[in-house]
Amino acid sequence: MLGVDVAETALKSAREKSRRSGLEAEFATADALHLERLGRQFDTVLDSGLFHTFDASERLEYAESLKAVTKGTLYVLCFGDEGENPARTP
């Protein structure tokens, strides 16, 4: 399992969480817009909280980047601008 982020602070926090939970994972500094630079491919790719931070042109670049490394399933956990806001549902 490999976790990536551009921010060293985020990676430090992820490494600590991983160690605390006993999860074996590898972490690396990487730009999600150029995942092909990892030179690797993955059966499962999970985006947690990143997609919605990109603007329209970055999203297209990100899609190409994801395509280069995903050989199986991609999961995207993100916020959207449309649909019901569950926080407002009675």
For ligand SAM, the binding residues (CB under 6 A) are: 5-7, 10, 31-33, 48-50, 53
How many C-beta neighbours within 10 Å does residue 50 have? 16
The residue among 20 and 89 lying less far from ligand SAM, judged by its C-beta, is: 20
Q: How far out from the chain centre does Cα 14 lie?
A: 13
The residue among 8 and 90 lying less far from ligand SAM, judged by its C-beta, is: 8
- Between vectors from CA 27 to CA 72 and to CA 18, what angle results, nearest 5°? 100
d(CA 40, CA 54): 23
The residue among 15 and 89 lying less far from ligand SAM, judged by its C-beta, is: 15
Minimum Å gap between C-beta 29 and ligand SAM is: 8
